[in-house]
A = this chain, B = another copy of it.
């Protein structure tokens, strides 16, 4: 259950929600150290640590050179020794430099040591396309972490979720991959005044509906909502579900929605092949096969690296129109 001692409600941005979570948790837990490129005086490439250096100083905000492998290993090693650490890869793409540390060291340590060593580290990175950032700066491979036993994976879509989930991530006992979306940082949304946390493993139903379930992750939640608005005009009532955390996955809520609507479409900025979209199809089959009135549909990015040309990139990434068109097809079943 989401815990809150909230009173009023404010509109803040996705990026500021993260900063609030960091500030509150770093005040609360003196052991937290934050490691990454440009996260000190500069306040983060995406402004994702603005103001924190002033408050917490050089010791707890550790600017690094361009050494994601080393920085990630150091964060894990610090976590193993009793210091809760955040390592910011900035662009999730740069986590590719550090996969061996994340997958071999952080993910395995609890199991292989039979729980004697824990690595409470948050690996933070921003995924997805924004403004023709190109092939090297737009990857969405969050599913790789989800497929790695020993890692939890969080993919918030709203400021509210960023704050509540980041606070929970910072209280976990093991490694959490916390993946924001670059294009969402400036988006705004309501959050309560007081403190609150959101447990990992609880999906959020953004919009109730009757005829089809749309499962969207991260930025694709807004695409799903747009598509739902289009479909509504055509008399199709879509329920939009955001798992919010990929691991643990709230299979119950997703399956409950599909059981109710009988149809599901998954919208994902990653390509379809071997990704999260197939996992939801499998979930649908495993949990509610007899309720399915149509084959689950996957609306994903086309299987190419992100093109620079805006025209091509628009074509590559799922749009509300593409989602609506695919949903219309399964509504015919």
Contacts and interface: CB of A to CB of B under 8 A. Distances in A.
A5 interface: no
A307 interface: yes
Contact of A305 (B107, B139, B303): B107
A298 B96 CA distance: 29
Contact of A295 (B271, B285, B304): B285
Contacts of A147: 141, 143-144, 270-271, 273-275
A100 interface: yes
A260 B265 CA distance: 26
A178 interface: no
21 contacts: A93-B104, A97-B100, A99-B99, A103-B141, A108-B305, A112-B134, A141-B144, A144-B147, A147-B270, A147-B271, A147-B275, A247-B273, A249-B273, A274-B275, A274-B276, A274-B278, A277-B282, A278-B279, A281-B281, A282-B296, A289-B295
Interface string A283-299: 00110010000111010
Interface residues of A, number: 51
B274 A307 contact: no
B274 A274 contact: yes
A286 B271 CA distance: 16
Contacts of A94: 100
Given A141-B147, A149-B271, A282-B282, 19 more contacts: A96-B103, A96-B104, A97-B99, A108-B136, A108-B305, A111-B135, A112-B134, A112-B307, A141-B148, A147-B270, A147-B271, A149-B303, A246-B274, A272-B279, A272-B282, A274-B278, A277-B282, A282-B298, A285-B296
